[in-house]
Amino acid sequence: MTSGASGAAADLEAARARFDALVDATASVDRLDTFCSSTDWILPLHRRLGSGEVIVRFSGGGGDGGADGDGGADGDGGAALAVTRVPTMQRRSLLCGLDVAWGYARPVVGPDVAAGVRLVEELLVEQRSSCYGLLLTGVVGRGPFRARLTERLGSRIMALAEPVGRRVAWLDCGFDTYLARRSRSFRRNARQAHRRAEAAGVVLEWHDEGGAELVRRAMAVERHSWKGREGSGLADPSFAAFYLDMAELLAPSGRLRAGFARLGGEDVGFILGAVRGDSYRGLQLAYAATHAELSLGNLLQLGQMDRLSAEGIVRYDLGQDMPYKVAWSDELFVTETVVLGA
């Protein structure tokens, strides 16, 4: 059976270390979005942009996943599940992972695939009188979790939502090798941007730790960016609160990474991201619209990559798939949302 708690995000906050240990232990072949599936992302996201009851479940561990002989490669590794109840217009609700906004996170984590799928099955049985079904986001189409889900609960799969893609750059062979894979025009533009910025007196300032104070500096820059003028990005109060909360969670472990482009003693550009294990997740990047000709965004991105590569980071997640990111990336990482009926 399972052990766990339900009712509020406080349940997940209390179990944060246990849940995140299972995120980090999830088999690499399952291609889990480690950062976005962890409490680094889902707790502040639910707190600021979500709503509704939070349900947390853990498998028993210690062999629970392999009790019926169908455990994964790590049959005693355990699994966990964290979902929220989304109200609907009807009498019954819908269950979904805490990343309702973007769907990057997978709400079922852990190395024991069989135990994870069993958590889903038990939840659907438990909640069938009060919910229509469950949206499982962040699922890799050909991964072990998806295969076991289809095998065990295939009859409950009602639909697949539109895939979610994000662009990834690989730094495993070093920054110079990454640059060598870029086009000739990409490298030429990077050199020219560096010369223009140097001639203008731009100085790049880097921070390998810190918390909300770095986000507040970024918010001040954002007000002068094109997103800030539209009231989006960090100029959106709810969005800014999400990143401030995230920064507070990251501060004790020193995993926030920030860079600022400074000109004349003022911040005119910034890049924010965070590391988990050997991966980096880009969060926000912006620059003052009045200095667009200096290519500050490109300089900050390249500088961040160079520093992270030296730190031993191998996976650089650029975030949501956008046309301009194609030239920067080595892979389009795609996940799907599986809709299960109760």
Per-residue confidence (pLDDT) for residue 29, from 0 to 100? 86
Per-residue confidence (pLDDT) for residue 63, from 0 to 100? 36
Beta-carbon-side half-sphere exposure of residue 36 (alpha carbons within 13 Å): 26
**Domain membership flag for residue 23:** yes
Per-residue confidence (pLDDT) for residue 158, from 0 to 100? 95
Residue ranges, the chain, pLDDT below 70: 1-8, 61-76, 89
Whether 30 and 104 share a structural domain: yes
Per-residue confidence (pLDDT) for residue 27, from 0 to 100? 87
Q: How far apart are the C-alpha atoms of 226 and 165, rounded to whole Å?
A: 24
Per-residue confidence (pLDDT) for residue 45, from 0 to 100? 94
CATH of the domain at 209: 3.40.630.30
Q: What is the pLDDT of residues 64-104, one digit of tens each?
A: 333 333 334 444 579 999 999 887 767 788 999 999 889 99
Whether 142 and 228 share a structural domain: no
Domain count of the fold of the chain: 2
Per-residue confidence (pLDDT) for residue 76, from 0 to 100? 54
Cβ neighbours of residue 193 closer than 8 Å, sequence gap 6 or more: 294, 295, 298, 299
Whether 61 and 159 share a structural domain: yes
Residue 283 burial by CB count (10 A; 0-12/13-18/19+): exposed, middle or buried? Answer: buried
Whether 178 and 308 share a structural domain: yes
Q: How far apart are the C-alpha atoms of 102 and 105, rounded to whole Å?
A: 8
pTM of the model: 0.90
Beta-carbon-side half-sphere exposure of residue 306 (alpha carbons within 13 Å): 12
Whether 227 and 113 share a structural domain: no
Whether 244 and 272 share a structural domain: yes
Residue 3 burial by CB count (10 A; 0-12/13-18/19+): exposed, middle or buried? Answer: exposed
Per-residue confidence (pLDDT) for residue 86, from 0 to 100? 84
Tokens coding 183: 């086009």
Per-residue confidence (pLDDT) for residue 89, from 0 to 100? 66
Tokens coding 188: 């030429």
Tokens coding 166: 């994000």
- List the domain range (segments joined by +) for residue 109: 2-166+335-341
User: 3-state class of 213 per DSSP?
Assistant: helix
